[in-house]
Amino acid sequence: MKLLTPLLSTFLLFVVFPLTGQEIAVLKYNGGGDWYSNPTALPNLIRFCNENIGTAINEKPATVDAGSSNIFQYPFLHMTGHGNVVFSEEDAQNLRTYLLSGGFLHIDDNYGMEPYLRKELDKVFPNKKLEELSKDHPIFEQEYDFPEGLPKIHEHDRKRPQALGIFNENRLVLLFTFESDLGDGWEDPAVHNDPEEVRQKALRMGANIVSYAFGN
């Protein structure tokens, strides 16, 4: 697939985004990881946001390939999975242009993708590294307050939850939520049988991410 030039990509981003408004798409990637996991999670989060923070997002999110120009139609991309992630050089360049042009990518580790993801992010941003967000970052102080930072939703390896980001000119362009498993908390109640209190924490944190992404 022929890549868009950076100039054309930037033009599309800033022209198309106002036309599509607040929209979110699922990012499809190669490598065998289950990019399609937690199928009820994102629709539930979108519904929560529409009902509680005034968004008007399509409750049936689209799916876009990492290397496709279609990503420029969506100001917010969501990515998840359990296993391997592979970005081709074309994918990496396309994602880099998207993020530097104003797009936002939220990656939620559904357990097991972290070591693969870090290697692939080096392709997207060879000169940038994931940085941990401090507890006083604005993303934790949007519609809902999280004074302790990213909440723990599901326990896996007894590690603390971390919100890690990549910045460009002080703008958070990529958020990686690790050892939290927000998406499991967004899923239908019957999937994981989480207490409502836990689901509400996950949904409220998700709403903060959405609010921050669309406002910055």
Residue 216 CA to residue 214 CA, distance in Å, equals 6
Q: Which of 1-10, 117-126, 135-144, 151-160 has the lowest mean pLDDT?
A: 1-10
Contacts of 76 (CB under 8 A, 6+ apart): 22, 23, 24, 25, 103, 104, 106, 210, 213, 214
Predicted TM-score (pTM) above 0.85: yes
Percent of the chain with pLDDT over 70: 90
Q: Phi/psi at 132 (nearest 5 deg)?
A: -75, 135
Predicted confidence band at 5 (pLDDT cuts at 50, 70, 90)? low
How much is the pLDDT for 33?
86
Q: Show the DSSP H helices in 74-139 as ranges.
A: 89-100, 114-124
Please give the mean pLDDT across all residues of the chain. Answer: 90
User: What are 109's strand-pairing partners?
Assistant: 81
Residue 51: pLDDT over 70: yes
β-sheet bridge partners, residue 77: 25, 105
Give backbone dihedrals phi and psi of 189, rounded to 5 degrees, phi first: -55, -35
What pLDDT, on the 0 to 100 scale, is given for residue 11? 47
Average confidence (pLDDT) over 63-76: 97
Q: How many CA atoms lie within 13 A of 121 on its CB side?
A: 23
> Are the C-beta atoms of residues 167 and 134 closer than 8 Å to each other?
no
Name which of 2-11, 16-25, 93-102 the model is least confident about. Answer: 2-11
Mean pLDDT of 135-156: 94
Q: What is the DSSP string of 32-89?
A: S--TT-STTHHHHHHHHHHHHT-----SS-EEEETTSGGGGG-SEEEEEESS--B--H
The whole-number average pLDDT for the span 186-198 is 89
What integer is the mean pLDDT of 85-91? 97
Question: Is pLDDT of 59 > 70?
Answer: yes
pLDDT in tens, 103-128: 999 999 988 899 999 999 999 999 99
